[in-house]
């Protein structure tokens, strides 16, 4: 792999990115003993209150929310929120705290990020479109035509980054970094090298579309890792198959580092009520 020469032009080396919804993953375990020691009628009131709050949070004008039952002991319940600003996420956090059930929830996991599309390909696509029309870099009008073409790409990507929470009923989430190690360092590669790797990555990933929906949110400067990976599917086996196949792809085999994996099931209003009535 060619490493880029020492240069101070870091600004132009970062791919342009397009951002959409801010995302909060908000996970809790339930203190079952304390919860069940409460009389049934009181519990029912708190369940109604929480279900009503979850439903309202899911139908806000700007963004969306969904609730998942997480498998294993790392978390019991996870709320996923898409909102237009951190302030909006703050409001939704306060909303949950105002529910009576909150006194029985023990925080287990939270993650702040923003849905992101990197424009590695958009730039290459724009170059290709213009080249086919004979408009090449250096020619008169190239800069304006290039900007206009990029705008078209951005508009298409906008729908990706301001998307709805996928309807699929299983979720798999994990944070990841691109390696900055002694021997291999993603951030030292040239932008062309990274584009090439991302192209291979995208090609592999698209084999799983639409059975798996991938939502990548960036979290550099927002939380502990560089990205949060959310995969949604009706077939949870595809999480294993996709993540395993990707392990062999150089964008992951050489450069990816992962945090903890969590898998859960989407809860509709009825299922959330049943879960809390256990
Ligand atoms: O349509 C396109 O061309 C989008 C191409 C694409 C990008 C730019 C893409 C496609 N991904 C992109 C960016 Mn992805 N992705 C992961 C993981 O487990 C692992 O090994 C890694 C975790 C999975 C499973 C996955 C799946 N992707 C990214 C980025 C940002 C990198 C950057 O900007 O430098 C990360 C961290 C990342 C990680 N990817 C796809 C998938 C799937 C299934 C696809 C095809 C789906 C689609 O195009 O919508």
**Nearest ligand 1 atom to alpha carbon 121:** 3
d(CA 186, CA 201): 14
Is residue 2 pLDDT above 50, yes or no?
no
pLDDT at 5: 46
Residue among 174, 244, 255, 275 flagged as catalytic: 174
DSSP line for 144-213: HHHHHHHHHHHHHHHHHHTPPPP--SEEEEEEEEE-B-SS-BGGGB-HHHHHHHHHHHHHHHHTTTTTEE
pLDDT, mean of residues 132-160: 89
Q: pLDDT band at residue 12, thresholds of 50, 70 and 90?
A: low
Q: Whose CA is nearest to atom 32 of ligand 1?
A: 118
d(CA 59, CA 156): 24
pLDDT at 8: 45
Kindly state if the Cβ of 121 falls inside 6 Å of ligand 1.
Answer: yes
Please give the model's pTM, rounded to 2 decimal places. Answer: 0.91
Kindly state if the Cβ of 118 falls inside 6 Å of ligand 1.
Answer: yes
pLDDT, mean of residues 136-145: 89
Query: Using one digit for the tens of pLDDT, what is the confidence trace for 218-247?
Result: 999 999 999 999 999 999 999 999 999 999
**Residue pointed to by tokens 């105002």:** 98
Query: Using one digit for the tens of pLDDT, what is the confidence trace for 87-103?
Result: 999 999 999 999 999 99
pLDDT at 10: 52
Q: Which long-range contacts (CB under 8 A, 24 or more apart) does 40-43 make?
A: 43/276, 43/277
Q: How far is the CA of 238 from the centre of ligand 1 (A)?
A: 15
**Nearest ligand 1 atom to alpha carbon 15:** 33
Mean pLDDT score across all residues of the chain: 92
Phi, psi of 104 (to 5 degrees): -110, 0
> Does residue 244 have an active-site annotation?
no
Q: How far is the CA of 221 from the centre of ligand 1 (A)?
A: 20
Is residue 9 pLDDT above 70, yes or no?
no
pLDDT, mean of residues 161-166: 96
Q: Whose CA is nearest to atom 12 of ligand 1?
A: 202
Least confident of 1-10, 68-77, 137-146: 1-10
Kindly state if the Cβ of 157 falls inside 6 Å of ligand 1.
Answer: no
Q: Whose CA is nearest to atom 3 of ligand 1?
A: 202
SS3 241: helix
Kindly state if the Cβ of 206 falls inside 6 Å of ligand 1.
Answer: yes
DSSP line for 87-137: HHHHHHHHHHHTSGGGGGEEEEEEEEEEEEEE-HHHHHHHHHHHHHTT--T
pLDDT, mean of residues 47-54: 95
């Amino acid at each position: 792999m060619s490493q880029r020469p020492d240069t101070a032009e870091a600004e132009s080396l970062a791919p342009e990115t397009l951002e959409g919804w801010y995302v909060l993953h908000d996970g809790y375990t339930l203190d079952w003993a304390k919860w069940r020691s409460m009389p049934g009628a009181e519990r029912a009131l708190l369940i109604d209150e929480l279900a009503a709050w979850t439903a309202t949070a899911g139908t806000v004008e700007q963004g969306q929310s969904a609730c998942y039952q997480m498998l294993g002991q790392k978390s019991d319940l996870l709320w996923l929120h898409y909102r237009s600003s951190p302030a909006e996420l703050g409001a939704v956090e306060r909303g949950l705290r105002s529910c009576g059930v909150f006194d029985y929830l023990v925080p287990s996991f939270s993650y702040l990020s923003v849905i992101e599309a990197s424009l590695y390909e958009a730039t290459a696509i724009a170059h290709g479109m213009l080249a086919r029309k004979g408009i090449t870099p250096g020619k008169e009008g190239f800069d304006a035509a290039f900007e206009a073409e990029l705008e078209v790409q951005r508009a298409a990507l906008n729908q990706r980054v301001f998307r709805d929470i996928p309807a699929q009923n299983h979720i798999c989430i994990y944070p990841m970094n691109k390696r900055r190690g002694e021997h291999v360092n993603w951030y030292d590669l040239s932008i062309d090298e990274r584009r090439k790797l991302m192209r291979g990555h995208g090609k592999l990933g698209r084999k799983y579309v639409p059975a798996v929906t991938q939502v990548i949110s960036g979290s550099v400067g927002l939380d502990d890792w560089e990205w949060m990976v959310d995969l949604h599917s009706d077939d949870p086996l595809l999480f294993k198959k996709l993540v395993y196949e990707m392990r062999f792809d150089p964008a992951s085999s050489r450069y990816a580092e992962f945090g903890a994996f969590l898998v859960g099931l989407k809860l509709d209003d009825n299922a959330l009520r049943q879960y809390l009535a256990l």
